[in-house]
Amino acid sequence: MIGIADGRGFKPEQRAHALIEALPYIQRFRGAVVVVKLGGNAMVDPELSATFAEDIVLLRSVGLKPVVVHGGGPQIGGLLARLGKESQFIDGLRVTDAETLDVARMVLVGKVGRDIVGSINVHGALAVGLSGEDGGLIKAVARDPELGFVGDVESVNPGIVERLLTEDLIPVVSTIGSGGDGQAYNINADTVAGALAGALDAEKVVYLTDVPGLLFDVDDPASIVARATVAELEAYIAEGTIAGGMIPKVGAAIEAVKAGAHSAHLLDGRVPHVLLLELFTDAGIGTMITQEPVT
């Protein structure tokens, strides 16, 4: 029998099935905190940015409590270049002197964060931008004197985020932390997302990247690992099965779960509506990481 498709090529029964499939997940995760680290192409592609905002608003609309964490390395590098300042890196981290820190704060808090808030608020007055400096959210310490004002998370005080969530608002967090003396530090966004997810006892922390998930072979998308435990991943890293650029992402996910997040997810942010596919479908998409095996 030939069905009648709508304007997007989906038959009515296909649309109905998608909604029915999503229902138990919506019921299960209602009221749960989901921390989403936005990165990669999803930050710079206007269409992907728009669909990301739609996903975040939908999560909030069906009763979840999304929190967005973002970096902005390429944007920081771009502005530094326009200002005639050359970026220097040590082990992949940008050396951050006082001038570079000022640029990072301007870009993260004043540009990238505002753009994300604006894209969400197209759908209503829902999002509020804040920095890790606000309300003592992120206490930071210097990572290495050679890196300057690059920091690590020392502790998280999630009170300001919890108050925003109580008001059914969507916090959008820029990853600038503050030391005990008030000194600001630029912190890796993956690290902040994991630490914040742990402090909030989040149901999930999701990392949007430019890869399909954890791959055994970076050149073969079919080698994706759909599910793994912390212990399994630590063993993969120790034996060299996971190496190179995947280690920081996997490491951040491991630390997030150890900190208290119930699960961590590595997703391909280049896929439109990837958040909904992972959270609300049976098959899911990407890699899910948990403390214990999922039965």
pLDDT per residue over 137-187, tens digit each? 999 999 999 999 999 999 999 999 999 999 999 999 999 999 999 999 999
- Give the other-Cβ count within 10 Å of 139's Cβ: 18
Q: How far is CA 286 from CA 49, 166, 173, 211, 247, in A?
A: 19, 30, 24, 9, 16
Task: Answer for the pair 60, 34: CB distance below 8 angstroms, yes or no.
Answer: no
What pTM was computed for the model?
0.91
List the chain residues with pLDDT less than 70.
Answer: 1-15, 245, 294-295
Query: What is the pLDDT, as a whole number, of residue 29?
Result: 92
The identity of residue 83, as a single letter, is: L
Q: Which structural domains are found in the chain, ordered by start? A: 29-290 (3.40.1160.10)
Q: Where are the beta strands (DSSP E) in the chain?
A: 33-38, 65-70, 89-90, 93-94, 127-131, 138-142, 150-156, 170-174, 176-178, 184-187, 204-209, 227-229, 263-268, 287-290
Query: What is the pLDDT, as a whole number, of residue 7?
Result: 42
Q: Which residues contact 259 (CB under 8 A, 6 or more apart)?
A: 194, 195, 197, 198, 199
For the chain, what is the radius of gyration of the CA atoms? 19
Query: What is the pLDDT, as a whole number, of residue 147?
Result: 94
